[in-house]
Structure 1
Amino acid sequence: MANELTVLKLEECLDALIDYRGKTPRKTDFGIPLITAKVVKAGRIETPNEFIAEGDYETWMTRGYPQIGDVVLTTEAPLGEVAQIKFLPVALAQRIVTLRGKPGLLDNGYLLYLMQSQEMQAKLLGRSSGTTVTGIKQSELRKIEVALPRLSEQRSIAHILGTLDGKIELNRKQNETLEAMARTLFKAWFVDFEPVRAKMEGRWQRGQSLPGLPAHLYDVFPDQLVQSELGDIPEGWVVGSFADAVDIIGGGTPKTSVSEYWGGEIPWFSVVDTPAASDAFVVKTEKSITQAGLNGSSTRLISKGTTIISARGTVGNLAIAGCDMTFNQSCYALQGRNGSGNYFVFLSAQRMVEQLKSMAHGSVFSTITRQTFEAVCAVHPPVSVLHQFEESVASLLDPILRNVNESHSLALLRDTLLPKLISGELRITDVEYRLEA
C-alpha cells in the first residue's frame, strides 16, 4: 500500500490551524464552555468546567472559530491528547490548537485517529522541547510529515474506528444515567426516607406501587419517624458509626525491585486506575502482580464487588472492583457486614465522601484513616431493608458493569486496529470482513 500513500507536511494538509497559546481569557462561572487541556482526555472532550462570558466571545476568538468536526490537540501539559469537537459554541484555551483538514485531501475523522497513532505521537514527542514541561511549537507541528491514503479510504477508516468509539460513548452515557438513578434511589431510601414519608402522608397504600417503590416493598418499611441524634429516622432503624457497616481492609505494594512479583494475572489497583464516576467499576488496572507478589507482600486479594476508596494523596476516589483484585497501601477496601451489600456500601461511601468534603468547608481533605470511618455517623437500616435495596439497585448497577466490560473489549479492538489501519498493514476490506464475521 506504500505506493498509494501521499506524503505531505501537516501544514500542507490543513485548511485551518487555530492557536490561542499566549492568551489568557477572563473566566466566568457560566457562559461559553472553555476547552482546556485538562478536559481533553482519552480521545474525547470531557464536560468543560470553565467558561468565558458570552459578551467576550467575539473579542476573544479573533484567531478563528472552531467548527464541528475540528480536531483539538493539547500542545503541552500534557502533550498529544486529541479529541474532536462535537458541540458549539466553544472557546479555546491555552495549550490547545485546533486542526481542520483540507477539503478533498484530509478527512477530519481520519485526522483524529491519525494524531492518536503511535507513529504520530512519537513525531510530536520528537519535535517537542522543554525540560520541566514538554511541549511543541506551532512551527514544529506544521513540519511533521503525514502519509495519507486516498480520501475514500480515510473516511472508511474513520468510520470503522468511529463506530467502535461511538458504542463506547453510548455505553458511557447509559452508565451516567444508571449511576445517577442509583444515587437517587439511595438518597430516597436512606437520606430522605421517602418510602416512610409516603406511608405517613397516605401517598403509598398497601397493594399500590410508586416510582421506585414496588407494591411488595410496602411492609418492609415502617410507617413513622422517630427522633435520633441525626434528626428524624425511620422507626426501628439505628444510628451508628459508618464503620459498623463495613470491614476495612488495608492494601500493600509488592517490592518493585523483585521482578517476579510484577506483570502477572492479578490486577493491582492504585488511584490512577479510578474509573469515571459514571462507570463505577474498575475492570482493568495499569499494573498487575503475580501470585508470588501477592504472597510476598501485605497487599490483599479482594473479591469482585468490593468498594475501593483512595485514602492518601488523591483522597476520596471510589471504585467497585469489577473482578477479584489487589490494591496499594494508599487505599482501603470496604466490604459490607451486618447485612450491608456491595452496592449499599459503595453508595454509602459516596455519601460519606460528600459529608467529609462538607465538613472540610469545601477544601480537599488530606487523609482518610480508620478513625475517619468510625467518626462518621450513619443511619443503619434493618437487614430486610438492606436486602431489598441490594436487589432493587442491582438492576441499575449490574448493567453498568456489563457496559464497562463491553467498552473495555471495544477499546482493545480499536487500539489493535488503529495502528494497522493507519499504517496500511490492514486494508479496509479485511477489517470489514472480520467485523461482519
Structure 2
Amino acid sequence: MLAKKTKLLGDLAERITVGYVGSMASEYVDKGIPFLRSLNIRPFFFDPSNLKYVTSKFHNKIKKSTLRPGDVAVVRTGSPGASCVIPDFLEEANCSDLVIIRCGEKLNPHFVSYYINSVTHSQIKGQLVGAIQKHFNIGSAKEIAFPDIDKPTQSKIAAVLSTFDAKIDCNNRINAELEAMAKTLYDYWFVQFEFPDASRKPYRSSSGKMVYNTTLKREIPGGWTDSNILAVADLFGGGTPTKKNTEYWNGDIPFFTPTDADGTIFKFSTADFITEEGLKGSSTKLFGKHTVFITARGSVGRLVLAGVDMAMNQSCYALRAKPGISQTFLFFLAKELIHHLQVKSSGSVFNSIVSNDIELTKLAIPTEDVIERFAAVVEPVFEKIANNTKENQQLAQLRDWLLPMLMNGQVTVV
C-alpha cells in the first residue's frame, strides 16, 4: 500500500532525459570523461567495473546526456528500472542507454532511487515498450505515479533506508577483500607455484622439481599435468522452459541467467523462477549448491557459485566439481580459464563462449593433495562470503518491505 496521494514523476522532477543514442565503438579512450552504461547501474549502487571513457570533445558534443552528482540514473534495457544515485566523486560524466532524472527542489534523489527500485517495479514492467528488446523510456519515467510526500519527509525516509545500504555496502567491501585475499593465495600457489612443500616452504623458491611441459610451453611442478578444466569438473549446458506455458514459470526453483551475474560470488536467488513442471518440460537441470556457472553470452565470462539448488538457461555453462575437488579451487581455476580465453581473443570481440573453448584450453592441473590443502584454507573464507551475501539479501528484503510502510504512515520517522 502506497501513499494515497500521488503525482506524476514528470511533474515533480526538474528534468527527465535520456543518455546518448548512437554508435560508441570508435569513441572510447583509455582515459578521459567517465562514460556510464547500463552495466554500471545496479539497484541502489553505482558499479565502476568495466567503466568506459570518452574525450572531453565528445563529452561537450553530447551535453544533453551529461550526468551530475545527485542525478538518478535508470537502466533502459537489459534490467530496465534498475536505478542508483550518481555519487559525488563522479563530478563530470556522460552516459548512454540510461534515463536521467534530475530531481530539483521537490525530490530527494535517494528517495527517488529507493522508490523506483523497490516499489515501482511492477509499474515499470507495465510500461516497458519495444517489440524486440523491452526498454524503459523517458515517457515511461514521466508517467510513474510518485507519492506526494514533501522533500523533508522524503529525506528522513531515505536516511532510515540508507542504514541498510550502509551495512550492505560494508558486507560487499568485506567480501571483495576476502575474495582478493583468496585470489592472491590461488595465484601464489597455482600460478607462481609457491604452494607449501613438505617442509612448508614455498615450492618453486625452495628448488622444488619443475618439469618443462611441451603443451603449455612452460615449466610446471613435477607430478602436475596438462589438461582442460574437465579433469576436475563435469560440464553441463542449460535450457529454458517455453514462455508459452504459464505452468512452467513463477514457481519455487531459481532460474539462473546471465543477468543474474551481478558481481557477487554466491547467488541465492534469481530474477526468474520456474516450476517443477518447467524443469521437467525443458532441457535444463537442477544444479546443486556450489555449482560454478559461467555466462557464455550476454555478459560473457562472469562466474557465480550457486548458493542453493537452481536451474540455468542455455546462455550459460555449469561446472560441477568432481568428487574430492573443492568448489573454491574450481571457481578460481575457472577464472584462470576465462583469463586464457580473453587473452586468446585479444584483438577480436569476446562475445561468446562455446564448449570447444572450454574443452580445448589446456591448464596446469595440480595434484589432489595440493588442492585439498588450498581448500582447507580458502573454504572458510568462502563460507564467510556466503554468509555476508545471505545477510545482504535479508537486509534488502527488509528495506524493500519497510519503504511502503514509511510512505503510508504505518511506520513514522522521528
- CA contact 1:247–1:334 (8 Å) conserved in 2: yes
Partner deviation per Cα, 1:117-143 (whole Å, 9 max, x = no partner) = 5459738976x87767756458x9668
AA aligned to 1:341 is: S
Aligned to 1:39: 40
Aligned to 2:163: 163
Query: CA offset at residue 348 of structure 1?
Result: 0.8
Aligned match for 1:412, one of 397, 407, 410: 397
- CA contact 1:313–1:367 (8 Å) conserved in 2: no
Aligned to 1:30: 31
- CA contact 1:30–1:51 (8 Å) conserved in 2: yes
- CA contact 2:65–2:94 (8 Å) conserved in 1: no
Query: CA offset at residue 351 of structure 1?
Result: 0.9
**Counterparts of 2:124 and 2:358, CA distance in 1:** 49
- CA contact 2:108–2:154 (8 Å) conserved in 1: yes
Please give the residue correspondences for 1:345-360 in structure 2 after superposition, counting only pairs within 5 Å: 345-360=330-345
- CA contact 1:76–1:136 (8 Å) conserved in 2: no
Aligned to 1:53: 55
The verdict on how the C-alpha distance between 1:357 and 1:121 changes in structure 2, with shifts beyond 3 A counting, is same
**Counterparts of 1:329 and 1:38, CA distance in 2:** 21
Partner deviation per Cα, 1:340-384 (whole Å, 9 max, x = no partner) = 211111111111122122223343264422x54432222222221
- CA contact 2:259–2:299 (8 Å) conserved in 1: no
- SS for the counterpart of 1:308 is strand
- CA contact 1:115–1:121 (8 Å) conserved in 2: no
The verdict on how the C-alpha distance between 1:124 and 1:325 changes in structure 2, with shifts beyond 3 A counting, is closer
The verdict on how the C-alpha distance between 1:118 and 1:343 changes in structure 2, with shifts beyond 3 A counting, is same
**Counterparts of 1:268 and 1:260, CA distance in 2:** 15
Using the aligned pairs only, state the percent identity.
29
AA aligned to 1:323 is: V
Aligned residues: 404
**Counterparts of 1:233 and 1:85, CA distance in 2:** 47
Partner deviation per Cα, 1:124-172 (whole Å, 9 max, x = no partner) = 976x87767756458x966876443244422221012222222222222
- CA contact 2:6–2:145 (8 Å) conserved in 1: yes
Please give the residue correspondences for 1:96-115 in structure 2 after superposition, counting only pairs within 5 Å: 96-102=99-105, 105-115=106-116
Q: Structure 1 residue 237 and structure 2 residue 224: aligned?
A: yes
- CA contact 2:70–2:102 (8 Å) conserved in 1: no
- SS for the counterpart of 1:333 is strand
Please give the residue correspondences for 1:119-158 in structure 2 after superposition, counting only pairs within 5 Å: 119=120, 122=123, 136-137=137-138, 146-158=146-158
- SS for the counterpart of 1:164 is helix
Aligned to 2:172: 172
Q: Structure 1 residue 267 and structure 2 residue 254: aligned?
A: yes
The structure with the largest alpha-carbon Rg is 1
The verdict on how the C-alpha distance between 1:120 and 1:377 changes in structure 2, with shifts beyond 3 A counting, is closer
**Counterparts of 1:396 and 1:32, CA distance in 2:** 37
Query: CA offset at residue 85 of structure 1?
Result: 1.7
Partner deviation per Cα, 1:227-266 (whole Å, 9 max, x = no partner) = 2222111122222332211122344445655555544333
- SS for the counterpart of 1:29 is strand
- SS for the counterpart of 1:113 is helix
- CA contact 1:70–1:108 (8 Å) conserved in 2: yes
**Counterparts of 1:257 and 1:98, CA distance in 2:** 36
Q: CA RMSD in A?
A: 4.0
**Counterparts of 1:61 and 1:53, CA distance in 2:** 11
- SS for the counterpart of 2:220 is strand
Aligned to 2:266: 281
Q: Structure 1 residue 363 and structure 2 residue 364: aligned?
A: no
Aligned match for 2:410, one of 426, 429, 435: 426
- CA contact 1:275–1:281 (8 Å) conserved in 2: no
**Counterparts of 1:123 and 1:314, CA distance in 2:** 23
- CA contact 1:106–1:148 (8 Å) conserved in 2: no
Q: Normalising to structure 1: TM-score of the pair?
A: 0.76
Please give the residue correspondences for 1:205-354 in structure 2 after superposition, counting only pairs within 5 Å: 206=199, 223-229=208-214, 230=216, 231-254=218-241, 259-276=246-263, 279-294=264-279, 298-311=283-296, 315-337=300-322, 339-354=324-339
The verdict on how the C-alpha distance between 1:136 and 1:319 changes in structure 2, with shifts beyond 3 A counting, is closer
- CA contact 1:33–1:89 (8 Å) conserved in 2: no
- CA contact 1:8–1:147 (8 Å) conserved in 2: yes
Please give the residue correspondences for 1:45-84 in structure 2 after superposition, counting only pairs within 5 Å: 45-47=46-48, 49-53=51-55, 59=60, 67-73=68-74, 80-84=81-85
**Counterparts of 1:255 and 1:62, CA distance in 2:** 44
AA aligned to 1:410 is: L
**Counterparts of 1:136 and 1:300, CA distance in 2:** 36
**Structure 2: tracts of 5 or more residues without a match:** none
The verdict on how the C-alpha distance between 1:135 and 1:297 changes in structure 2, with shifts beyond 3 A counting, is closer
**Counterparts of 2:195 and 2:412, CA distance in 1:** 56
Query: CA offset at residue 52 of structure 1?
Result: 3.0
**Counterparts of 1:76 and 1:329, CA distance in 2:** 20
- CA contact 2:67–2:95 (8 Å) conserved in 1: no
**Counterparts of 1:134 and 1:407, CA distance in 2:** 28
Aligned to 1:93: 95
